[in-house]
Amino acid sequence: MKLLTPALLVSLATGFAGFANAAEAPEAARRIAQDVVIVDTHIDAPGELLDHWNDLGLPTPTRQFDYPRARAGGLDVAFMSIYTSADEDERGEAWQIAQTQIDAVEAMVARHPDKFALLRSPKDVQELQRGNKVLLALGMENGGPIGDDLSKVAAFHARGVRYITLAHGRNNRISDSATDSAPRWNGLSPFGREVVKEMNRVGIMVDVSHLSEAAIRQAAELSSVPVIASHSALRHFTPGFQRNISDENVKVIAAKGGVIQVPFGSIFIDAQAANAYANVLREREAYRVAKLAAEVAGKPFTAPEPNSPVAPPTSINQVFDNVDRIVQLAGVDHVGIGSDFDGVNGELAAELQSVADYPQFVAGLQQRGYKDADIRKILGGNLLRVWTEVENAAKR
Ligand SMILES: [Zn+2]
């Protein structure tokens, strides 16, 4: 008998009821989660390692990613997010922080060579996985660490970075952000256009999550290979939340052969949570500007920093609504998973609380009528197809 939490009641009212934990998912769902290659393109473990170190090879219940739960959930390829903020970029710290986060991932692999391996190419998945390893790939969230030096793109490729999210919360040297107060470049900057071409040349996927409407379109048009959205849901379900992707841009990304990786965080999948978060972003921006003005004027600044809102309970069905709509708009070849585990303060769909929970995701897809071959694509096949295309084009 499972407890009927508010979130589960919501689920019962709207579709898939989920299970008290992933181990209770039907055998068929658990088997698919174990057998199929699951790729999650957005897990924020490295930044967390720097702030609150843990040995993620061992059970770490305070976090959403660790080795034992990754294996229990059937996770095969975990993109570790090498994340730097707009503030860190503006303070000139982004390059240093990115390198240190990559070091932290390498140290995790070196500490547990029996549990983890670094994945640099999609063709190595089968070989490296032997012995039940979880493969760690690197995705750099924010192009800030590139600075204004194009040669750093190849340098990050040499360190293993296989996608770069061109910008984050604010406009940067490369691109406009979805969440800045006004556009600076009306899309990509001239330098940003060079960065995209260089990423194509060396074989780094272009990630358009966090970008403005125009920047997404321009990046997809300019790139000679498919682009990805590593963790973005649909604005259709969160009207006014610019961080999510418009139906129009879903079609733009798909027409190019790309893939939209759906996140599990409440702020992405729920209109009320997205609204509250967008308000906090605006308050934080006003706070930042006021604080800066006070510093420049040499005046004391005592205003309290805006608090994060508490998200309402959300359900796995809201994640599936995003999957269904992307399939309707663009087809099943253009959707995948980018959970944002360890990146959203624990505010996630009720049934998707950690990397142990992919069997719930599989069970829900089955209940919505997805066939095994399609589930395989959604879980990781689509992303591996794009990555392979990007790598092959770079070799030519
Ligand atoms: Zn993000």
Kindly report the pTM of this predicted structure: 0.92
User: What are the structure tokens assigned to 17, written together?
Assistant: 């009821």
How far apart are the CA of 297 and the centre of ligand 1, in A? 33
* DSSP-derived pairing of the beta strands 75-83 and 134-141: parallel
**What phi, psi does 181 have (nearest 5°)?**
-70, -30
Q: How many other CB atoms are there within 10 angstroms of residue 132's CB atom? A: 10
pLDDT band, very low/low/confident/very high, at 2 (cuts 50, 70, 90): very low
How far apart are the CA of 392 and the centre of ligand 1, in A? 27
Using the 8-state DSSP alphabet, how is residue 332 labeled? G
Instruction: Report pLDDT digits (tens) over 66-124.
Output: 999 999 999 999 999 999 999 999 999 999 999 999 999 999 999 999 999 999 999 99
How far apart are the CA of 340 and the centre of ligand 1, in A? 7
Rounded-to-integer distance, Cα 393 and Cα 225, Å: 7
How far apart are the CA of 361 and the centre of ligand 1, in A? 21
pLDDT band, very low/low/confident/very high, at 14 (cuts 50, 70, 90): low
How far apart are the CA of 269 and the centre of ligand 1, in A? 14
- Output the average pLDDT for the chain: 93
Q: What CA–CA distances, in Å, run from 209 to 24, 185, 253?
A: 33, 17, 11
How far apart are the CA of 231 and the centre of ligand 1, in A? 7
Sole residue written with tokens 């004391």: 300
Instruction: Report pLDDT digits (tens) over 297-342.
Output: 999 998 888 887 777 889 999 999 999 999 999 999 999 999 999 9
How far apart are the CA of 167 and the centre of ligand 1, in A? 10
**Per DSSP, which regions of the chain are E strands?**
38-43, 75-83, 116-118, 134-141, 161-165, 205-207, 228-229, 259-262, 335-337
Structural domains in the chain, sorted by start: 6-270+311-395 (3.20.20.140)
How far apart are the CA of 388 and the centre of ligand 1, in A? 23
How far apart are the CA of 120 and the centre of ligand 1, in A? 22
How far apart are the CA of 127 and the centre of ligand 1, in A? 30
How far apart are the CA of 217 and the centre of ligand 1, in A? 19
User: What are the structure tokens assigned to 207, written together?
Assistant: 């990630």
Instruction: Report pLDDT digits (tens) over 129-150.
Output: 999 999 999 999 999 999 999 9
pLDDT of 371 higher than 90: yes
**What phi, psi does 336 have (nearest 5°)?**
-155, -160
